[in-house]
A and B are shown apart, each in its own frame.
Chain A
Amino acid sequence: MSEGPTTAAERAAPRSDWALHRRYLLFTALLLVFIGLMGVAERAGVPRAWLGASFLIVTVAGYAGIGFFCRTAKEADYFVAGRRVPAMYNGLATAADWMSAASFIGTAGVLYLQGFAGLAYILGWTGGYCLVALLLAPYLRRFGAYTIPDFLGARYGGHAPRLIGALAAIIVSFVYVVVQIYGVALITSHLTGFGFELGILVGLGGVLVCSFLGGMRAVTWTQVAQYIVLIIAYLVPLFWLSAKQTGNPMPLLSYGAQLDKVSAREVELLKDPRELEVIDKLKLRAAEAQVKLQDVAGAMSRDAKVQEQRIDSLLAERAPLAKVQQAQREFAARPRTEAEGRTHFERDRDSALARAQPLAGMPPQALPFAAGSPDGDVASRHRFESARINFLALMLCLMMGTAAMPHVLMRCYTTTSVAQARQSVGWSLLFITLLYLAAPALAVLVKYEVLSHVVGLPFDQLPQWIHRWSRLDASLVSVQDINRDGILQLGELRLGGDVIVLAAPDIGGLPYIVTCLVAAGGLAAALSTADGLLLTIANALSHDIYYQMLDRNAPPLRRVMISKILVMAVAMLAAGIAALRITDILQFVSAAFSLAAAAFFPALVLGIFWRRASRAGAVAGMLVGLGVCAYYMATNHPLLRGLLGVVRPASECRWFDVDPIAAGVFGVPAGWIALVLVSLVSRPPDEEQLALVDRLRTPAAKEL
């Protein structure tokens, strides 16, 4: 494997760390000055749309500037940043690579909505780095190639392991990149008021400018900048909210008092007669929908008649135009066919039932496995056990997935030495932990604000953010006076998970620029992850499939060129799919984790730690792992069951009551066992492969 035309001078004199420190300190200072200026501008009365747009333009222009400055066509620079990234900066870049739109926007939202259950994500996404550090990072760095399929190809020989690895990397990363671009578009349209599609285009430009011009090198140095933006954006509203609520601006380790208040308020709300009234009304609504389902056609025509009468009476009493139009829109959107009517009524029933729960369906914040109780009756004990097993399964699955995500593992190749690769994981984990310590704190502070200051307000005094967000997207925020008492109950307020972080400054009554800053941080998180993923996909296609399998004689310059063209093409395709607006960000990300874990984890780890692991074994392990995962998801995920027409009852498809989101917890052991069994009965690895294993295990004075 050639190292590309890196000159001896470049290798002998790596960038001095102090030059780097100075550059990024300057960047941070400029960022803070910019935020300060925006704060002054807001006081001076500059319109909000301008503030939002300047945050968008300035940060994206900053990333583009760094990307342009680091442009390269050299192979080693393009694929692995010349292997010149010091441990701490590699840690920063990995952290930005790692923390996606889902981490930034979604995690605190999940913690807000699901309480303790959301901590499975926090534990999984940090604990996985122990696996990366101990099992993979130093060995991959010592191996010193360009991609993860490279490792599989060299360790097991032949084309099959490399091809399966490349395809798995492409599928996993593609699912993930679509979600990032969706996040970019959501934030951009919120920040500037652009349409969703235009938001996608803006985000696409920001992503492409880095990965297209400078590959891994440009992506690394922009990611460092993006980490700085995203961590400031996450911590500022948290510290500010905390100072406002408790007078203590350092909430990270001491928000327990707020958590106590939230728990006390939850107990109150559980007994509040008005909340109970809302729940009864919702149950009634569900029962009505159930009655309509008995005679769908009749109910449809009755509903249509009621709607027509309502429009007529609104027109007759000269109601405001907006109200009339609203009623007309509802009438126009009524179900037309009987099948549509049936799904319409079913949806009504299910959403009413889902909301007719204590605390609007949110379990008490601090209570683990709140679906049941270990002291309750048999059914309740069973629900408790099932929640506990699912927490454990999801956590382990995310951990193994973390240690198998190709875009993160690729970052093990970019440090200057093996020792630095080990340290680099420590730095990554430190920077990641900073955000994940903050997420549960933010969820608790926002919940405190909502439970004690928003719930109980009269409907005509609701804060501005509720109106603004519900206008932007009713699936994110909606309110409805269900028991018609003119007061907002918790059961009448619906908050989507994606809105918790983005609206946290609004909810806490902070200035508008903090909202802009948070949005810019979310944008940085989404862009940095999208960059890393696009590179992974393009490199798998250009390096592993084109160069290693199709044309071994392609010169380095052409390989870089092909990778650049592929980055462009894949980005376009991902943007096209994101434009379809597939919602529910976290579901899809977690599916990607299961698949990555099943495809890579056993083959990579056993490839290093078990000499006997053979090519046939690796192929079998990867295929069985992926197969078991895909099968479990297909038979258990409601969406996939519908698509594939699975008829077997869902309860029979379940194993140990584990949700399909954690399918990897079956895929990995299945793959592991298949790899071991097939290796034992197949041809052992040859001399060259055994020599590679030995090289991985032995420190060398000079590393590649």
Chain B
Amino acid sequence: MVPGARQVFWSRCRRLTGALLLFWLVGNVLVVWFAHDLNRHELFGFPGGFWVAAQGALLVYLGLVVAYSAIVNRMERRFLGTLEPDDMASSSQFPR
């Protein structure tokens, strides 16, 4: 195995998870907090606050989950590409 490849993979994965969750949390809180003010603006024919809570946020959640799985699945394939045949055997046989 490339030295430290595991640590690199994990710290990248953790950073990505942290960043996406931070965006998710801050976005959620802001949208709810300012829903009343957002309603003064029109979005796609709806009062803005209503639209974000009834549709916009849901589509963003979907985007977040799809983006996460695409990025991490690609990272995982690359990581596995760096493994030697020996590691293949050992990494699948962790003690349980």
Contact = CB atoms under 8 A, between A and B. Distances in A.
B58 to A, nearest CB: 5
A609 B21 CA distance: 14
A234 interface: no
B88 A701 contact: yes
Contact of B39 (A123, A368, A391): A368
Contact of B61 (A119, A154, A429, A699): A429
A356 to B, nearest CB: 26
A694 B94 contact: yes
Given A368-B39, A418-B76, A692 B68 contact: no
A701 B62 contact: no
B31 to A, nearest CB: 8
Contacts of B95: 688, 691
Contact of A609 (B14, B39, B47, B80): B14
Contact of B46 (A126, A256, A436, A698): A256
Given A122-B58, A391-B32, A129 B50 contact: no
A415 to B, nearest CB: 12
A701 B93 CA distance: 10
B26 interface: no
Nearest to B6: A698
B46 A259 contact: yes
A353 interface: no
A119 B54 contact: yes
Contact of B35 (A254, A369, A419, A688): A369
A691 B47 CA distance: 52
Contact of B65 (A122, A419, A425, A698): A425
A129 B39 contact: no
Nearest to B31: A123
A358 interface: no
B83 A701 contact: yes
A129 B45 contact: no
A21 interface: no
B36 interface: yes
Interface in B46-96: 46-47, 49-51, 53-55, 57-59, 61-62, 64-66, 68-69, 72-73, 76, 79-80, 83, 88, 91-92, 94-96
A426 B76 CA distance: 17
Contacts of B92: 700-703
A130 B33 contact: no
A241 interface: no
B37 to A, nearest CB: 8
A698 B61 contact: no
B69 A422 contact: yes
A130 B54 contact: no
Given A130-B21, A433-B58, A697 B69 contact: no
Given A369-B35, A433-B58, A703-B92, A698 B9 contact: yes
Interface in A114-158: 116, 119, 122-123, 126-127, 129-131, 133-135, 138, 154
A357 interface: no
Interface residues on A, range: 35 or more
A123 B50 contact: no
B5 to A, nearest CB: 9
B66 A129 contact: no
Contacts, number: 148
A76 to B, nearest CB: 16
Most buried by B among A133, A392, A423, A436: A133
A127 B35 contact: no
Nearest to A434: B58
Given A425-B69, A426-B66, A433-B62, A697 B21 contact: no
B53 A367 contact: no
Contacts of A384: 36
Most buried by A among B6, B9, B68: B68
Contacts of A440: 54
A273 B69 CA distance: 57
Nearest to B38: A368
A388 interface: yes
A430 interface: yes
A395 interface: yes
Interface in B5-35: 6, 9-10, 13-14, 17, 20-21, 24, 28-29, 32-33, 35
Most buried by B among A119, A367, A699: A699
A426 B14 contact: no
Interface in A427-477: 429-430, 433, 436-437, 440
A699 B9 contact: yes
Given A138-B72, A368-B49, A426-B66, A127 B24 contact: yes
Contacts of A305: none
B65 A133 contact: yes
Interface in A323-343: none
B62 A430 contact: yes
Contact of B47 (A123, A366, A422, A697): A366
A426 B51 CA distance: 22
A419 B76 contact: yes
Contacts of B39: 366-368
B69 A426 contact: yes
A692 B96 contact: yes
Contacts of B61: 126-127, 129-130, 429, 433
A253 B55 contact: yes
B64 A698 contact: no
B68 A422 contact: yes
A1 interface: yes
Interface in A389-434: 391-392, 395-396, 418-419, 422-423, 425-426, 429-430, 433
Contacts of B32: 123, 388, 391-392, 395
Contacts of B64: 130, 133-134
A257 interface: yes
Nearest to A443: B54
B15 to A, nearest CB: 12
Nearest to B16: A134
B40 to A, nearest CB: 11
Given A256-B45, A366-B47, A701 B91 contact: yes
A347 interface: no
Nearest to B67: A426
Interface in A208-265: 253-254, 256-257, 259-260
Contacts of A688: 95
Given A384-B36, A701-B83, 7 more contacts: A119-B50, A129-B61, A129-B65, A388-B32, A395-B32, A422-B68, A699-B9
9 contacts: A119-B53, A130-B24, A133-B65, A254-B44, A395-B28, A423-B69, A429-B65, A698-B91, A699-B76
Interface of B: 6, 9-10, 13-14, 17, 20-21, 24, 28-29, 32-33, 35-36, 39, 44-47, 49-51, 53-55, 57-59, 61-62, 64-66, 68-69, 72-73, 76, 79-80, 83, 88, 91-92, 94-96
Interface of A: 1, 116, 119, 122-123, 126-127, 129-131, 133-135, 138, 154, 253-254, 256-257, 259-260, 366-369, 374, 384, 388, 391-392, 395-396, 418-419, 422-423, 425-426, 429-430, 433, 436-437, 440, 609, 688, 691-692, 694-695, 697-703
